[in-house]
Amino acid sequence: MNDLYRKKFGAEGEERAAAFLQEKGFSIIERNYRAGKIGEIDIIAVKKDLVVFAEVKSRSGDAFGGGIYSINESKKRHLRTAARVFLASHPSYNTKEYTFRFDLILVSGDKIELVDDIIR
């Protein structure tokens, strides 16, 4: 898979994931939030008092066990750190009124699967 195709494939998956969250009642705060060299959060969304930091994995198949196996300890650490940077720069969300959760959205073919609370 060449880089251009991979980027387009990933962007399409993120589009579908964002639409999926919106169908679930979430509002999208940011997409592809970059925290400098620390990392990126694919989608940040809010619903009432819940802020979700979502990692999106688009796959054309289940080779290597699927997208869920790509979330290792290093990735979790980067997501947590990027979320801290986001919250520091968006103090309106960094209050006791909000609960935070890290979710994984798997996009494969026509199927979209939400794995909530991937970091405990």
Q: Which two tokens stand for residue 34?
A: 């970059």
88, with CB counted inside 10 A (0-12, 13-18, 19+), is exposed
Q: Which domains does the chain have, with CATH numbers?
A: 3-115 (3.40.1350.10)
* Tens of pLDDT, residues 96-114: 999 999 999 999 888 999 9
pLDDT at 46 over 70: yes
* Tens of pLDDT, residues 5-31: 677 777 888 999 999 999 999 999 999
Q: 58 vs 16, 38, 84, 89, 95, CA distance in Å?
A: 10, 22, 25, 29, 32
Q: Is pTM beyond 0.85 here?
A: yes
